[in-house]
Every structure is written in C-alpha cells, then in structure tokens.
Amino acid sequence: MGKKGILLVNLGTPDSPEVADVRRYLDQFLMDERVIDIPAFNRTLLVKGIIVPFRSPKTSKLYKEIWDENGSPLLYFSKIQAAMVQQKLGDDYHVELAMRYQRPSIPAALERMKSALVESVHVVPLFPQYASASTGSVIQNVMEIVGKWPTIPPVSFVNSFHDNKLMIETFADNARKYHPENYDQILFSFHGLPERQLIKCDHSGQHCLKKENCCASLTDVNKFCYSAQCHDTARLIAAELDIPAEKYSVCFQSRLGKEPWVQPYTSEVLKELAAQGKKRLLVFCPAFVADCLETLYEVSVEYHEEFKALGGEQVQLVASLNDHPKWIEAMVELSKN
C-alpha cells in the first residue's frame, strides 16, 4: 500500500530579508486574487505600481530585525513542526511542508508526493481560523494543481481548527509562565482582514456586519466567519486560563490600505487601554501557529513602543505554538482527520 500524503501549508516568507526577495514575495502574495480581491487590472496597478515598490524597502528593514542565524522564524519553526509530525506519524505517512507564497512551494511539494506514489493527499492549511485570503487560497491552489494530474488521488482538506483543544491548551500553557493575573489586560490580537472579505464570505448575505457585534459570536449560521472564529478562539483560551470577560479584549492587527478592516484595530485598543490607565498588557496572537514578523516585530516591538508612548509600560507577547509538544500532537491529530 502507498503512503498517506500530508501537506502542511503555511503562508510564506521571503527567501531573504533583502529588498529584491521581499519584493518577489510581496508581489506573489498580494497579486493573489483572494488577498487583494479587486478586479485583475486594478490589482496589477495597485500592487505592482504602488504597494510593492513602496512597501518592499520598508518591509525588508522589518524582516532584517527578526531574521537570525536560523533565517525567517516562520520558516524555521514550520520546518521543525513538519519534521516532528513526520517523526510522530511514522512510515505510513509522507509529510511535506509548503508555503503558499515563495518556498518550499506547493507545486514542488505536491510533485514530490506524486513521485513518492502517495495513495492520498490530506492538506492542512496552518491557519486556525478560516479566511478566504489564507485557508481559501491554499485550498484553491492545491485543487488547481492536483486537478490537472492525470490521476487525481483522494484529496481532503482541513478547513479550520479555531477550537482545537490541544491548540487552546498550548496557548494557555505558553501564557502561564507570565502569570496572566499580574497583567492589567489580556489582548487577543488576530491578523486583520478587510471587512469586504468578511461580508463576501457570508454566503447567506444576512449575517456578517449586519448588526452590532454580530461577528463576535459563533453560531450555526456564521460558522465560517473569520471574526466569529477568532472570538471563539479567544473565548476558549480565556476560559482555559479563567480570565473573566472584562479582563480581555479581542482586536485585529496588520491593516493594509485605507478601506475598513475588521474592528477593533489593535492600535485603537492600545489607545483606549492607555487612556484607562492600564499599564501592563499580555498579548496572544492566536491567528498564527508560529512566531513570525507579525508577532515578533509588530507586537513585541511596534505595539510595545506605541503603548509606552501612550503612557503604558509593557506589551508582553505570549510565544506562539512553535515546537510545543502539545501543538505537535494537535498537528498529528489534524493530519489524521
């Protein structure tokens, strides 16, 4: 019997922090029709004419701040995760790591699986909450590639795992060493998303952003809503740590462009908390399964400085899932289901 193929996919990172590599990365990322979801002609003008030329040098500087002897933290931890999952799953499985953008690429990883004569392909997009721009893009890309193979094997996908028990426990474990009770407020800062994409993903057309706070709770009718899944993840981690509702806030970071993104924005929440006299914040970033630019720089450096300038004292990041054994167990579970 052939091996079962497992494809673990994260977002991607540049090959190096140099401007040319960052430019290639941003170009592939932002030209994705699910990321900048506007008509192709306008997307090309905006991405190739404005965002990539102006943003690449700035983003390159940020990547240089987090790049160490192991390279990009996102790729470093992703490789460790894949090797540990392969080791746990054993010889009946063939595990490949891929990045949606740049390397190791999805086409190359799928080609290696094909050459290894896998009997099936199970895809695990490494994004806990479903978004069209992340999970949706991975699923579409894999379907396009495998869809052209002469023999299409059984293919399956994980859609989201925002409430995975082992994942929730891992975030809680990582926070305990900071003693959450010693902080003035706990923040769950998720990657942001344009509001337009939230509305588009609501196939009923009747739920997302229709009423105040409608995207803050997860129900049967909005079970694919990114915002609702984020709120659910936050609620579960808070419950695991006995953090009362008034002691934590859910917010969204990394906004790009001028149109409205899912709210509240992390920067605005920092302003409000500083105005209330809060001094010490503990911040989870549960949209990511590995530390990356958005956690190590945006939260630990940018938000920390921003909060201090507002009169606060500390923004402490809770480490991501990285190579925590319980998270590896969760990945094994996701690989088998």
| Annotated binding-site members for Fe(2+) | 191, 294
Question: Binds 295, which of Fe ion, ligand L6N33NVT, none (CB < 5 to 8 A, cut-off by type)?
Answer: none
Binding residues: 191, 294
Q: How far is the CB of 22 from Fe ion (least distance, A)?
A: 14
Binding mask 155-184 for ligand L6N33NVT (x = CB under 6 A): ------------------------------
- If binding is defined by CB under 5 A, does position 229 make contact with Fe ion? no
CB 236, CB 129: distance < 8 Å:
no
- Pull the structure tokens for residue 113: 């699986």
Give 125's strand partners.
9
Q: Of 51, 84, 208, 293, which one interacts with Fe ion (CB under 5 A)?
A: 208
- Pull the structure tokens for residue 185: 């407020």
- If binding is defined by CB under 6 A, does position 191 make contact with ligand L6N33NVT? yes
Q: Of 7, 8, 11, 89, which one interacts with ligand L6N33NVT (CB under 6 A)?
A: 11
Q: Of 222, 249, 320, 335, which one interacts with Fe ion (CB under 5 A)?
A: 222
CB 286, CB 188: distance < 8 Å:
yes
Size of the site for Fe ion (CB under 5 A): 4
- If binding is defined by CB under 5 A, does position 225 make contact with Fe ion? yes
Residue 130 DSSP SS3: coil
Choices 116-124, 190-198, 230-238, 314-322; region in contact with ligand L6N33NVT by CB under 6 A: 190-198
CB 185, CB 284: distance < 8 Å:
no
Which residue, among 295, 221, 275, 281, has the nearest Cα to 249 in the 3D structure? 281
- Pairing of β 314-317 and β 120-125: unpaired
- If binding is defined by CB under 5 A, does position 129 make contact with Fe ion? no
Listed in sequence order, the residues at least 6 apart from 70 whose beta carbon sits closer than 8 Å to its beta carbon are 76
Q: What is the maximum span of the chain, computed from C-alpha positions, in angstroms?
A: 63
Q: Of 97, 172, 250, 292, which one interacts with ligand L6N33NVT (CB under 6 A)?
A: 292
Distance (Å, rounded) from C-alpha 321 to C-alpha 329? 11
Distance (Å, rounded) from C-alpha 228 to C-alpha 222? 7
Q: How far is the CB of 241 from ligand L6N33NVT (least distance, A)?
A: 22
* Cis peptide, bond prior to residue 104, ω within 30 of zero: yes
- If binding is defined by CB under 6 A, does position 241 make contact with ligand L6N33NVT? no
- If binding is defined by CB under 6 A, does position 330 make contact with ligand L6N33NVT? no
Map tokens 């300038």 to a residue: 309
Binding mask 29-68 for ligand L6N33NVT (x = CB under 6 A): ------x-------------------x---x---------
Choices 41-49, 87-95, 164-172, 202-210; region in contact with Fe ion by CB under 5 A: 202-210
- Pull the structure tokens for residue 109: 């990883």
CB 193, CB 254: distance < 8 Å:
no
Q: Give the residues lining the site for Fe ion (CB under 5 A).
A: 208, 215, 222, 225
